[in-house]
Amino acid sequence: MITTKQAIAKYGTPNEHGTYLTSIQLPYPMRLAWDLNTTVKTMRCHRLVADKFKAVFTDLLAYYGYEKIKELGIDLFGGCFNFRAMRGGSDWSRHSWGIAIDLDPLRNKLKESKRTARFARPEYKPMIDIFYKHGFVSLGVEKDYDWMHFEIRE
Ligand SMILES: [Zn+2]
């Protein structure tokens, strides 16, 4: 997983304005996890990982199809860029660079383990594999907490 030092070297020093961000078109609409009636068709992320995120969403759509994506809650967007400290720490959250994404946060809570987290179920294994294929890691797989969270490996 990427260290803060490595992240700064590669992606710059994070700032509240996100001067390193770009906006990508999503191949399917995502529902805001905190406001299910609102859907988004674009997402802001670091420009150096934009193509990787796009490849993930494109592969997810190709593998599952939109109906299944909705049924599984893979379209429940929990945030990408968010300038803030890491939960429970003084370090910057990987979201501060726009190099991490949270999905379905209400059913993959920070302190949930694989015993209860949705994304630990077998039907989500292909989703996780797709993230890994494009250079992301799952915190759930790596640490068995924060299963909502995927971030760039390097
Ligand atoms: Zn996260």
According to the model, what pLDDT value does residue 89 have? 66
pLDDT digits (tens, 9 = 90+) for 39-94: 999 999 999 999 999 999 999 999 999 999 999 999 999 999 999 877 666 789 99
For residue 154, how far is its CA from the centre of ligand 1 (angstroms)?
A: 16
> Average pLDDT in the 99-107 region?
98
**pLDDT of res. 71:** 98
Distance CA 143, CA 151 (A): 13
Report the DSSP beta bridge partners of residue 43: 24
Q: How far is the CA of 38 from the centre of ligand 1 (A)?
A: 20
Mean per-residue pLDDT of the chain: 96
Measured in Å, residue 68 CA sits from the centre of ligand 1 at: 23
113 Cα: distance to centroid of ligand 1 (angstroms): 15
Distance from the alpha carbon of residue 66 to the mean position of ligand 1, in angstroms: 23
What is the distance in A from the centroid of ligand 1 to the CA of 100? 6
Taking the CA of residue 148 as centre, how many other CA atoms within 13 Å lie in the half-sphere pointing to its CB?
22
Is residue 56 within 8 A of residue 130, CB to CB? The reply is yes
Asked if 106 contacts 134 with a C-beta cutoff of 8 angstroms, the reply is: no
Are 100 and 150 in contact, with CB atoms under 8 Å apart? yes
Kindly report the pTM of this predicted structure: 0.96
Confidence tier at 148 by pLDDT (50, 70, 90): very high
What pairs with residue 45 in β-bridges?
22
E strand or H helix that includes residue 26: strand 21-32
Classify strands 136-138 and 149-152 as parallel, antiparallel or unpaired. Answer: antiparallel
The CA 81 to ligand 1 mean position distance, Å, reads 9
Closest CA to 148 of 94, 84, 90, 76: 76
- Give residue 94 CA to ligand 1 midpoint distance, Å: 7
